[in-house]
Chains A and B, each alone.
Chain A
Amino acid sequence: MSVPSTARPGARLRLAALLGPPMVWLVVAYLGSMAVLLVSAFWSTNTFTGAVVPVYTSGNLLALVTDPLYRDVTLRTLLVALGVTVLDAAVAVPMALYMSRVASPRARVALVVAVTTPLWASYLVKAYAWRVLLSPTGPIAWLTGGHSSGYGIGAVVVTLAYLWLPYMVLPVFAGFDRVPDSLLEASADLGAPMRTTLRRIVAPLVLPAVAAGSIFTFSLSLGDYIAVTIVGGKTQMLGNVIYGQLITANDQPLAAALSLVPLAAIVIYLLAMRRTGALENV
């Protein structure tokens, strides 16, 4: 929205009063804390007391690149985030298609409620529910005759995919809902069977919505550090490595440096998704 340059001074003042507080919040509290994070990644710790001292060092960032542990954890975390996103998309797309195009209005409401209700339950409870489900003596092991994969990276992917599913279903559902019926009819009218219509018309129009959903599933998975400690067994992800540096090792500058990895990953991911038109869909 553009503000006319001929706006009266009073109008400009009112606009400033309206936008001022949120801008202060955004710049000072929101971006400011990020800036502190960035700066503190270059600080050192006193080796005796463990206190943070504002003395420049590039050691933290160098450790990220050189230490094979951090490299592996970064790679594993990216793979988990990608796996969660793919799994959520695979579940959400047919589900959202059914909700918007096939289900009766009553069934649609029921499904939207079913998808969103778990958002009201505590994260911890849901993660522990999966711990119970996946336990070596739990229901899944019992049903499959002891063939549960148990805790580990697979369990992390499944649990996170469960936790973030609503963030994928809702935008994709809205995306399908935005495709006018007349486009599907026009495609059929011009000789396309249903499968061709889905591939040539529906898929390209819904792709930005899937990309929008994936921004949530990808970034939420990238930062998660709780589910992995509950169902991940010995699996380490960036989140809990950062947590360990911060709480256990008391090395805040290294934790800050580690935090820059998911931050960079998300910025790159957002830039990639912008090309699909996803950012107009969030």
Chain B
Amino acid sequence: MAQVAARRDVRDADPATPGIALEGVRKTFGSVVAVDRVDLEIADGELFAMLGPSGSGKTTVLRMIAGFEQPTEGRIRLAGIDSTDLPPHRRDVNTVFQDYALFPHLSVQQNVEYGLTVRGIGRAERIRRAGEALDMVRLAGVGARRPDELSGGQRQRVALARALVVRPRVLLLDEPLGALDLKLREQMQVELKAIQREVGITFVFVTHDQDEALTLCDRLAVFNAGRIEQVGAAADVYERPQTRFVAGFVGTSNVLDGAAAAALVGRPGVFGIRPEKLEVLPAGTAAGGGLRSTEGTVAEVVYAGSTTRLIVDTDAGAALSVVQLNADTGPAALRRGDRAVVAWHPESVRTLESASPTPPPEGSA
């Protein structure tokens, strides 16, 4: 696939222009606001995730980039060109659909060739390029089969090959791993990353799975109720969540507010701290230097193989979730009902915006 990489260098003339730019994009379906004034820039060659619960507007944004939906307000620029009113077949963007949308009456080979066929590309080149694309997704040799003779994982690879064979500037993936079982999902995550590096184009994928978003992407946008709550590098969003929603949706967080926040953090406000940043010790143990600590009672101990999760009801009133790595082989030192000390580094505590930026006026689930 060296040719593909070379071709990209020629086309990307101006690196300053974002590959995808959404400007004040809003989409309503009847009285329901699906997407509310979203601004977003995605650079060329990025592996970008749109993360959010179902109904948060992430898929609608993806469909607007593809051209299947028209924004009610706002503009969409692709490579600097206003593409808001372009139909899907005139956009340099391809989609891997959630249900893969393979054409059931065509063979795998014909499916992959489809985008080339409708562009009037000659037979020899079609066969060559479809073969290359099938090689890339490690599906050489299944070209003669029908989609219904393939497994779910193979179908997804065909969908990927079919979208990549036309060499788009941007590849959109709608819940790409949603229908696969866990083992296959982990394997495909690695492969998707490798394929993205190989072809060097922008990948934008939609997911409701925060693990998937964190492992797969360079940057991500967290969607909630039609708006973007936070955009940033994966580690950045995880380590420094800005809102209560992001703290709770991307990974898990102990969110502290009211009297418990004042007692534990020492000042009023809304705060978040990750369970793995907390340390739990038997009662009476002194916490290390520079750490804040509080006492409480162990309410629950959940053993999960590599980690153990403890819920500690602190005397200050908040229940804290603590995750400990099971590095030692001995039995857990603490049991339900034991008194314990919970300690943390003050810098691990994140100040959160109390609420999401203004919630949308109408109920957009």
Contact = CB atoms under 8 A, between A and B. Distances in A.
Interface of A: 180, 182-183, 185-193, 196, 200-201, 204-205
18 contacts: A180-B99, A182-B98, A186-B101, A186-B102, A186-B103, A186-B162, A187-B114, A188-B88, A189-B93, A189-B95, A189-B163, A190-B163, A191-B115, A196-B118, A200-B114, A201-B103, A204-B105, A205-B104
A157 B166 CA distance: 48
Nearest to B94: A189
A189 B89 CA distance: 5
> Which secondary structure dominates chain B's binding surface?
loop
Nearest to A205: B105
Contacts of A189: 66-68, 88-89, 93-95, 163
Contacts of B104: 205
B101 A182 contact: yes
Interface in B99-121: 99, 101-105, 114-115, 117-119
Given A182-B99, A185-B95, A190 B68 contact: no
Contacts of A204: 105
Given A191-B119, A196-B118, 20 more contacts: A180-B99, A182-B98, A183-B103, A185-B97, A187-B103, A187-B118, A188-B67, A188-B68, A188-B88, A189-B67, A189-B68, A190-B89, A190-B94, A190-B114, A191-B89, A192-B118, A200-B118, A201-B103, A204-B105, A205-B105
Contact of A182 (B97, B118, B166): B97
Contact of A185 (B88, B102, B115): B88
Interface string B126-166: 00000000000000000000000000000000000011001
A193 B97 contact: no
> Which of B67, B87, B115, B163: most chain A Cβ within 10 A?
B115
Interface residues of B, number: 25
A190 B171 CA distance: 11
> Which of B68, B89, B98: most chain A Cβ within 10 A?
B89
A190 B110 CA distance: 13
A201 B162 CA distance: 15
B254 to A, nearest CB: 41
A189 B90 CA distance: 8
